[in-house]
C-alpha cells in the first residue's frame, strides 16, 4: 500500500522567512496530493492541493510543487507569520474507478514561526 | 457551518468495555474515514468507507470495527477497549474524485 514520508518533523523559522516541508510517496498510482494544517485543539483543514497532471500550484503565500518522476512533493510558505505556526500534514490518494479513495497521511511537521 | 460532527470531545472508558465513537456529516459525501492521531506517528488510517455498508481496512484495523448503515453516519467500534487504544480519534468525510476531506474536532479517548 501507499507510504508517505514527511520531513522535517519540526521546523522553526523567524517571522518573514520561508518554510519548506517535503514529502515522498511510494505508490506511483497516487494522483492527488493535499496539504492540511492543524491548529491546536482542532481537526486538520485543507490549505492547498495538487493533482498529478500539474507540476506546481500557488495560492498567495503558499505553493506546492510535485515531481512525479521522483515521487516527491513539497509545501512552500513564504513571508511566514506567527499565525502560520501549526502542524502541517501532507497526504496522498489514488482516485481509482469504483470510488475507493484511500487518503494516506505523512507524520506531520510542527512549524513554529518566531516573532 | 458544521460539516463533520463527532459525538464526544472527551471520553474515558474502562479496559474491556465496548466503545462506540460516532461521526455524522451533513455534506452528502460518499467517503468517510476514521484516523487515529498519536504524537510522532501522525494520522494513521483505521478504516474507511466509500459507500453505505462498504468498508475497507486501513493501516491499523486491529482491535477496531466500523459500521456505516446510513450515508451520513460512520461509527468506529472498539470491541474490547485496551489501554493502548488511548488516543485522539479523528473522523473525516470527502466526496468522490479526490475532493477536500473535512475533519471533525476529534475525540480524545482515554482507556483506564
A95 to chain B nearest CA, in Å?
6
Find out whether the peptide bond into A53 is cis, omega within 30 degrees of 0. no
| Nearest CB to B96; choose among A46, A89, A99 | A99
For residue range A11-53, list pLDDT tens digits in order.
999 999 999 999 999 999 898 999 999 999 899 999 999 988 8
Could you identify the residue written with the cell 472508558?
B13
The answer, for A115 touching chain B at a CB cutoff of 8 Å, is: no
pLDDT at residue B36, as a whole number: 97
Which of A30, A102, A108 is most worth mutating to test chain B (most B CB atoms within 10 A of its CB)? A102
**Largest Cα–Cα separation, chain B:** 41
A54: confidence class by pLDDT, cuts 50, 70, 90: confident
A91 to chain B nearest CA, in Å?
10
Say if strands B10-13 and B107-111 run parallel, antiparallel, or are unpaired: parallel
Give the residue among A31, A36, A69 at the shortest CA–CA distance from A50.
A31
For residue range B1-34, list pLDDT tens digits in order.
669 999 999 999 999 999 999 999 999 998 999 9
B43 to chain A nearest CA, in Å?
6
pLDDT at residue A96, as a whole number: 63
CA distances in angstroms from B94 to A52, B29, B109, listed in the order given: 19, 5, 24
The mean pLDDT of chain B is: 93
Does the pLDDT value for residue A58 go beyond 90?
Answer: yes
Give me the mean pLDDT over the A65-91 stretch.
Answer: 96
Inter-chain touch B45–A107, beta carbons under 8 Å:
no
A window 71-100, beta carbon within 8 A of B? 89, 93, 95, 99-100
Rounded Cα distance, A99 and B30, in Å:
8
For residue range B76-111, list pLDDT tens digits in order.
999 999 999 999 999 999 888 767 889 999 999 999
Positive or negative, the CA dihedral B27, A96, B44, A27 is negative
pLDDT at residue B1, as a whole number: 67
What letter does residue A82 receive in the DSSP assignment?
G
Percent of chain A scored above 70 by pLDDT? 95
Amino acid at each position: 500500500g501507499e507510504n508517505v514520508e514527511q520531513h522535517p518533523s519540526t521546523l522553526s523559522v523567524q517571522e518573514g522567512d520561508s518554510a519548506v516541508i517535503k514529502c515522498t510517496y511510494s505508490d506511483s498510482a497516487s494522483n492527488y496530493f493535499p496539504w492540511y494544517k492543524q491548529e491546536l485543539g482542532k481537526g486538520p483543514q485543507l490549505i492547498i492541493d495538487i493533482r498529478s497532471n500539474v507540476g506546481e500550484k500557488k495560492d498567495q503565500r503558499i505553493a506546492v510543487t510535485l515531481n512525479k518522476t521522483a515521487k516527491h512533493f513539497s509545501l512552500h510558505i513564504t513571508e511566514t507569520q506567527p499565525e502560520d505556526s501549526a502542524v502541517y500534514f501532507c497526504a496522498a490518494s489514488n482516485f481509482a474507478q469504483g470510488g475507493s479513495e484511500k487518503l494516506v497521511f505523512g507524520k506531520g511537521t510542527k512549524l513554529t514561526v518566531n516573532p | 457551518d458544521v460539516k463533520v460532527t463527532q459525538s464526544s470531545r472527551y471520553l474515558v472508558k474502562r479496559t474491556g468495555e465496548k466503545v462506540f465513537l460516532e461521526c455524522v456529516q451533513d455534506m452528502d459525501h460518499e467517503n468517510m474515514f476514521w484516523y487515529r492521531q498519536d504524537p510522532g506517528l501522525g494520522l494513521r488510517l483505521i478504516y474507511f468507507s466509500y459507500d453505505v455498508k462498504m468498508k475497507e481496512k486501513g493501516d491499523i484495523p486491529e482491535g477496531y470495527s466500523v459500521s456505516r448503515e446510513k450515508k451520513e453516519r460512520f461509527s468506529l467500534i472498539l470491541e474490547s477497549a485496551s489501554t493502548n487504544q488511548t488516543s485522539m480519534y479523528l473522523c473525516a468525510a470527502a466526496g468522490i474524485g479526490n475532493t477536500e476531506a473535512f475533519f471533525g474536532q476529534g475525540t480524545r479517548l482515554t482507556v483506564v
